[in-house]
Structure 1
Amino acid sequence: MKSKENEEIINPASGAVIMALGIFLYAAIDAFTWINHTTGKILTVSLIVLAAIIYKSLFTQLLNKPYIFAILGNPVHSFVIGSWVAGISVMSNVIVKYFPDMSVGVQGMMLINTLLWLCFLVNCFYHFNEIMKRPTAHSTHGVVLLSTVATQSLVIFWVKVFPSLPAGLLIAVMSLGIFFYLIGMTLIVLRYARGNPWTMIEDWTSTNCIIHGALSITGLAIVSSQLMSGMFIMIFWLIVFVLLISVELMEMVRAVKRIQKLGWKKGVFTYHISQWSRNFTFGMFYAFTITMHKNPHYLNAFYDFHRGFLHFWAWIVFLFLITEIGLWAGSNGYHFERITRGNVS
């Protein structure tokens, strides 16, 4: 029997695992013709089982007052709850894709998820207000943009499953997500531009990839609802693409610096839960681009470029995902070995 000291505490950001795996099954998997529909169904069932384990642990820990106070008491870290909302939303879309007969049950699950999102909104407004009081006093990073990700993830599901929803509601919720993005980005810029001195190695976090990921999911919400013109979405896609290149170039600089200081293993091949956010953002950019590419309403000057880019980007999404799964498996293998040795000794 485990003592309280030895009990495993699941990381509150674990919803990002479901987000990353789910977005691959939702979009990029279709680029690999050797993965057939039956395999997709098996992987979806596996995702559901994994999500059940993760969310059971997350919601069980909510009964632990010190645990929930530790999350909600940190203005920046509290935004990880957005990964719970987005994880359920992405998984719901995957279930509807592979098991359309389960749509009614998924709608019930998403009703609960919408209630969770409403609670999360209270957290967003409260903690954004707290951070804005002293913006340079907090180490604000990309995790605050999960406010946008969670909000737009609901819109994408609503558009797919509830096509009769009024356009006004969809525009209002999407606008709220964009509002959160503008606040979050302002706070991130202030943190790095006017806050305490920082270094690329120590202070630039993996979650900053959500800078482009939050816009990608916003783009997918816009394209799915068809509420904007083709010209608008073409310009919007270009902005997201430029941000993706810019942020990931910074990540490459950070990786080089970490390798020089820490070596390959500790520098780039050590597992951390925040790394799943990159898999999600890469997968979401693919989902945004492929949905735009396939919709005749959005035929544009980038059409031919998208066709070649999507073949390349699907492999980027796949290879990064396999690498992350490998890092996760390796870290858990090491953890298991360490526990086993401890028990033997």
Structure 2
Amino acid sequence: MLIILMLACIIVGLMTTHTYRRKSDMPTAAGSILMVGGIFIQGAWGELTGLSVYSYATSALVILLIAIWIYLLLGYITSIRKDEFYAIHLADPVGRFAIGTWIAGTSILLITIYTSFPSSWVYETVLILAVMTIGLWIFFMYWVVKSMIDIAKMQAGRHVHGIVLLATVATQSIAMLLYDIFGHSEAMLIICRLLIGWGLVLYVVLASLMIYRYVRYAWNTADQSQSNNVMMYGALAITGVAVIETSSWTPSSVSILWWISLAVLLVVECIEMIRAVMRIRRHGWKTAVGTYDVTQWSRIFTIGIFNLFTWRLISMNSSSIMNASLANLQMSVVIITAGMMVILLIWQCVLSVDAFVHRPVVAEVPVQRIPHVHSRKMK
């Protein structure tokens, strides 16, 4: 394990050097990589391999995620150092919702670390980072409310898309973080339920803005490369995981939420398939599906979180009598979504490496030193 940790540190060091030599504009939504990794370890990884969270292979994946988290953090610190943080991450009233990936990604990562490394010093470290993540969520909620006001004032509704639902995803991830890290007391359970309720309120409001945008304004699916609209079912799925985790709802209510999530998934993914075909016909395979886009991590996350939601629902209902057809359907969903997640994850990793290698280098401008000229008085 020490060797794995040393290798991870070397990788982070090399990537950090690479970051300072390249552009500093780390995408705001890059935190979705952590969301995907954490959900993959908690869900599909165990389902497909049968390995426990304490295995060496799982620990190696968690350490790799920690290395990626450090690399992303350094990228964002670089934007602060170069006075570009606001322009890149906060200036756009819609784009700033992507900060939710930092919160959700960090929360899921901390839960994964806490589960895989059950030691006192790890818990203390996770506890400190959890408090900082909660503070970041409060900061994010301020900007969420401000964005809603800005969208209303600036008539920016025509630019609203699924990225806004990251407000719900971030909130539900905080609810799970509190419940898993800070204990299962009655007071904590009440706080978690309030957070889940607040997340659903955000979902209703922001999803309504999305629907209004697509009904009110003209749009062309073939010209849009982003896949953020998959958050429409991803936000519902993580809500389902949160309510199961905290035992906040009755089994029947959770089942209703699962059916709603499944229906939204089918509608959204059918639209995405049509959009993919249109993009291939218009732009070709390379541009349509062979070009790296950070928002594609969102699709992998939403499929992964729905997989985890379904798996947790099956586990919750294992002690009760279930309809055989329903049980077979849900197990089929788990298998299909796990396979989809693995295929998409491999493809996205290939595109990520290619984009990282061919990232444009920022030329260093040499500083010209002007010699100091002493003024002499004319006699």
- Residue 257 (structure 1) aligned with residue 257 (structure 2): no
Task: Give unpaired runs (5+ residues) of structure 1.
Answer: 341-345
- Residue 198 (structure 1) aligned with residue 219 (structure 2): yes
> Which residue of 49, 53, 67 corresponds with 1:33?
49
- Residue 316 (structure 1) aligned with residue 332 (structure 2): no
Whole-Å separation in 2 of the counterparts to 1:7 and 1:143: 24
Corresponding residue of 1:343 = none
Shift of 1:67: 3.1
Instruction: Answer yes or no: is the 8 Å Cα contact 1:131–1:138 preserved in 2.
Output: no
- 1:273 counterpart SS class: coil
Give 1 or 2 for the bigger CA radius of gyration.
2
Q: How does 1:72-221 map to 2 (within 5 A)?
A: 72-101=90-119, 102-133=122-153, 135=155, 137-161=157-181, 162-166=183-187, 167-195=189-217, 197-203=218-224, 205-221=226-242
Whole-Å separation in 1 of the counterparts to 2:23 and 2:352: 20
Whole-Å separation in 2 of the counterparts to 1:55 and 1:218: 26
Whole-Å separation in 1 of the counterparts to 2:68 and 2:185: 32
Instruction: Answer yes or no: is the 8 Å Cα contact 1:135–1:191 preserved in 2.
Output: no
Q: How does 1:323-334 map to 2 (within 5 A)?
A: 323-334=347-358
Q: Report the TM-score, using the length of structure 2 for normalisation.
A: 0.83
After superposition, the C-alpha distances for 1:178-221 in whole angstroms (9 at most, x for unaligned) are 111111111111111102x2111124731111111111111111
Instruction: Give the superposed CA RMSD.
Output: 2.3
Instruction: Answer yes or no: is the 8 Å Cα contact 2:26–2:76 preserved in 1.
Output: yes
Length, aligned pairs only? 336
Whole-Å separation in 2 of the counterparts to 1:298 and 1:120: 39
After superposition, the C-alpha distances for 1:244-287 in whole angstroms (9 at most, x for unaligned) are 11101111000000111111111111111111111111111111
Q: Report the TM-score, using the length of structure 1 for normalisation.
A: 0.91
Task: Give unpaired runs (5+ residues) of structure 2.
Answer: 1-16, 363-379
After superposition, the C-alpha distances for 1:17-64 in whole angstroms (9 at most, x for unaligned) are 111112101211001227672111111111101111111221342344
Percent of residue pairs identical? 27
Q: Which has the higher contact order (CA 8 A, sep 6+)?
A: 1
Shift of 1:137: 4.4
Q: For residue 137 of structure 2, what is the amino acid of its counterpart?
A: W
Structure (1/2) with the larger helix percentage: 1
Whole-Å separation in 1 of the counterparts to 2:95 and 2:289: 23
Whole-Å separation in 2 of the counterparts to 1:194 and 1:243: 20
After superposition, the C-alpha distances for 1:118-174 in whole angstroms (9 at most, x for unaligned) are 010100111112213455644000111110010000111222232115232112111
Whole-Å separation in 1 of the counterparts to 2:43 and 2:99: 24
Corresponding residue of 1:55 = 73
Instruction: Answer yes or no: is the 8 Å Cα contact 2:28–2:88 preserved in 1.
Output: no
- 1:295 counterpart SS class: helix
310-319 or 82-91, which moves further after superposition? 310-319
Shift of 1:69: 3.7
Corresponding residue of 2:312 = 291
- 1:62 counterpart SS class: helix
- Residue 71 (structure 1) aligned with residue 89 (structure 2): yes
- Residue 303 (structure 1) aligned with residue 303 (structure 2): no
200-209 or 4-13, which moves further after superposition? 4-13
